[in-house]
């Protein structure tokens, strides 16, 4: 069994949890949604990545950890030319040792104008000293 973590944002209107915790493991999925009003933050890949990773940071903190506890990240992009911009912003949020990461180009995401979605797993208490 797992616990759903309350990040303070409005729950989705679909049957999905944004953040769950089982023991010291946390799974979290995010898009570039504003954490207060739920509006999508659109624009270039850097703006969308910054908001998406900001949401991940909020979620991991709500679960009791930090981004240093993140061990795996899956990035879904709709355009492979967005890789460099995403990577630039990613480096603002994560420092060595970096989580394992897969970056996948997909045909589309569910919301019009959405360029990135991120799925991450953290192990709380895992952060390097």
What mean pLDDT do residues 106-122 have?
96
pTM of structure: 0.91
User: What domains sit in the chain, N to C, each tagged with a CATH number?
Assistant: 3-123 (3.30.1330.40)
Handedness of CA 113, 12, 92, 108 (dihedral sign): negative
What mean pLDDT do residues 54-63 have?
95
| Inter-residue contact 102 to 75 (CB < 8 Å) | yes
Cβ-based neighbour number of residue 49 at 10 Å: 25
What mean pLDDT do residues 95-110 have?
96
Q: What is the pLDDT of residues 74-89, one digit of tens each?
A: 999 999 999 999 999 9
Residue 12, sorted as left (phi over 0), alpha (psi -120 to 50) or beta, turns out to be: beta
Maximum alpha-carbon separation in the chain? 41
Q: What is the pLDDT of residues 28-57, one digit of tens each?
A: 999 999 988 889 999 999 999 999 999 999
Angstrom CA distances, 9 to 54, 78, 90, 106, stand at 13, 25, 22, 27
Q: Is the pLDDT of residue 7 over 80?
A: no
């Amino acid at each position: 069994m797992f616990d759903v973590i309350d990040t303070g944002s409005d729950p989705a209107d679909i049957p999905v949890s944004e953040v769950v915790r089982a023991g010291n493991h946390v799974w979290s999925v995010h898009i570039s949604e504003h954490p207060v009003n739920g509006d999508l933050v659109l624009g270039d890949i850097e703006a969308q990545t910054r908001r998406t990773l900001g949401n991940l940071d909020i979620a991991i903190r709500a679960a009791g950890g930090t981004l240093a506890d993140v061990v795996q990240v899956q990035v879904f992009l709709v355009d492979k030319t967005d890789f460099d911009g995403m990577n630039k912003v990613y480096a603002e949020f994560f420092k060595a040792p970096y989580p394992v990461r897969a970056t996948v180009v997909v045909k589309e995401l569910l919301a019009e104008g959405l360029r990135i979605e991120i799925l991450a797993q953290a192990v709380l208490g895992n952060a390097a000293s």
